[in-house]
Structure 1
Amino acid sequence: FPDMYAFTLRVISCLCIFQGGVFSEECSYGVFGKRETFLVPAGGSLSLFCVVQHCGGNWTGNWKRQNLTTSTTVENSARHRFTIGPVSANQSKLHLKILSVRESDEGFYTWNVKWSDGSHDVSHWMQVNVTKGVAFERKPLHRVLVCTGAFLCLPVILGLARCLSSEVKQQPHPRIESVCGVFDLVEVSHSFISSYMLQLLYADISQDALRNQKAQREPVEPTVYSTVRFF
């Protein structure tokens, strides 16, 4: 039993130490934000945020913007809207939304918090660069108009394609006519050559007949006999 009693005391001591450590843990104050660079086109919108861990205490703060020359406080306005929402009993999330971004909005942004004891704390700097491009958001009406125009143009495109295909099919006819003309020319040439050959044949036969007639009409030369006398 003494060993059992000692083991029980050790377990109770460990539980007390663990419970005391959990409840004695203190909440640390701070501001948490991600260091990041944003490229925003002129006329677009931008949203920045950070988390304040206040541990349930009182605090105040504001957004700061700093560039190469000045440091200013971002006031809540029609273009600059910031809101605060609870994350837990010890944390709150701060949002800064900038509408219709201008070149004057370019710079480094941070959240500056003031605690109840008068101390200050800031979040990481978030860099905002404004580009020259203009953001263009297509509205649903614009998309509907584009789709309607595409459907209306489709029959016209199909009609033009059909007309072009029919014209392409009709183009080989002149080639057939030219081929027929070639055949006619070949036939004419063949007939001309045949007649010319017949004329040559007739001429050859006529010349042979004339030679035969001439040979028959020539008189036969008489035979002359001579006598030779010896003295």
Structure 2
Amino acid sequence: MKRVYRWSFTFLAFLCIVKECELCLSVRASRASMFVAEGKELLLRCEVEHCGQANWTGGWAFQEMQSQGFISLTSSERIKLSNYSSAVNSTQLKIHIHNVNQSDAGAYKCIIIWPTGIISSGHVTYVNVTAATEEFSGSRSATNRVLLCLGSLVCFLVVAGLVWCLTQLRSSPPPVPPHTRTSFSARVKPKTELVYADVAVCNSRRQNERLKVAPESVVYSSVHFS
């Protein structure tokens, strides 16, 4: 019975050690799908939990679209691989791709080989490369800026003109009504004079007689009305 208990205890201890190693030796990476415009930059990272062990190997692996198997990536002019220790028991692996093109579309993941020969891999990140829109968007934004500046200038000139017109209207005195020459004379009645006249009556029977010339009338007085 003692041997049975001893073997059972040993087996449980072995399972605990294996479980502890599995929890310690692992690769942490998030499963994701990304869209990157052509000509942009791509930055991915994963974290290796190595529990202080330094004899592990591996790095980033890449699988092209509609192809079989992953291939290990190495640093080049466009692809930069780096790692740094974020803690005593973990290390972060980074991949930085400059000037992304269509050949960079595919699946990326970290593959680590431990000293015991066990292989661990992180979650896969799928990268989709879209068509470049930098030039069009840049020219469009520049055109929009120019139009916005011109519109602002026109609005400023219109507002300034309206303000100037209102200022001139407020500062100018009210118009004086014109004086007509007939305004005063129309209210003054014309002067009238009283004239005495002499009337001479001719007799038809004395046609042959010379008419006497009536003497010139004499004005005695005149009356003026105002």
TM-score w.r.t. length of structure 2: 0.51
Quick one: distance in 2 between partners of 1:89 and 1:43?
37
Give the RMSD, CA atoms, in angstroms: 4.3
Quick one: distance in 1 between partners of 2:168 and 2:116?
96
1:1-231 to 2 correspondences below 5 Å:
26-28=20-22, 29-55=25-51, 56=53, 58-70=55-67, 71-131=70-130, 132-134=132-134, 168=164, 172=168, 176=172, 180=175, 182-183=176-177, 186-187=178-179, 189=180, 191-198=181-188, 201-202=189-190, 205=192, 209=194
CA distance 1:172–1:54, shift in 2 (3 Å): closer
CA distance 1:104–1:192, shift in 2 (3 Å): farther
- 1:46 to partner: Cα distance: 2.8
CA distance 1:170–1:48, shift in 2 (3 Å): closer
Q: How many residues align?
A: 157
More helix by share: 1
- 1:82 to partner: Cα distance: 0.9
- 1:31 to partner: Cα distance: 1.0
Task: Write the deviation string for residues 25-47 of structure 1: whole angstroms up to 9, x where unpaired.
Answer: 83322211122344444333232
Are the counterparts in 1 of residues 111 and 121 from structure 2 also a CA contact under 8 Å? yes
Which stretches of structure 1, 4 residues or longer, exceed 6 Å deviation after superposition?
216-219
TM-score w.r.t. length of structure 1: 0.50
Quick one: distance in 1 between partners of 2:100 and 2:79?
10
Look up the SS of the partner of 2:93 in the other structure. strand
Quick one: distance in 2 between partners of 1:109 and 1:92?
18
- 1:176 to partner: Cα distance: 4.5
Are the counterparts in 1 of residues 32 and 124 from structure 2 also a CA contact under 8 Å? yes
Are the counterparts in 2 of residues 58 and 116 from structure 1 also a CA contact under 8 Å? yes
What amino acid does structure 1 have at the position aligned with 2:38?
Answer: A
Quick one: distance in 2 between partners of 1:26 and 1:57?
17
Provide the identity percentage: 24
Quick one: distance in 2 between partners of 1:107 and 1:96?
14
CA distance 1:171–1:50, shift in 2 (3 Å): closer
User: Structure 1: where are the runs of 5+ without partners?
Assistant: 1-19, 136-156, 220-231
Quick one: distance in 1 between partners of 2:79 and 2:50?
24
Which residue of 1 is the match for residue 210 of structure 2? none
Quick one: distance in 1 between partners of 2:59 and 2:48?
12
Quick one: distance in 2 between partners of 1:75 and 1:176?
83
User: Structure 2: where are the runs of 5+ without partners?
Assistant: 1-12, 136-152, 202-226
- 1:110 to partner: Cα distance: 0.7
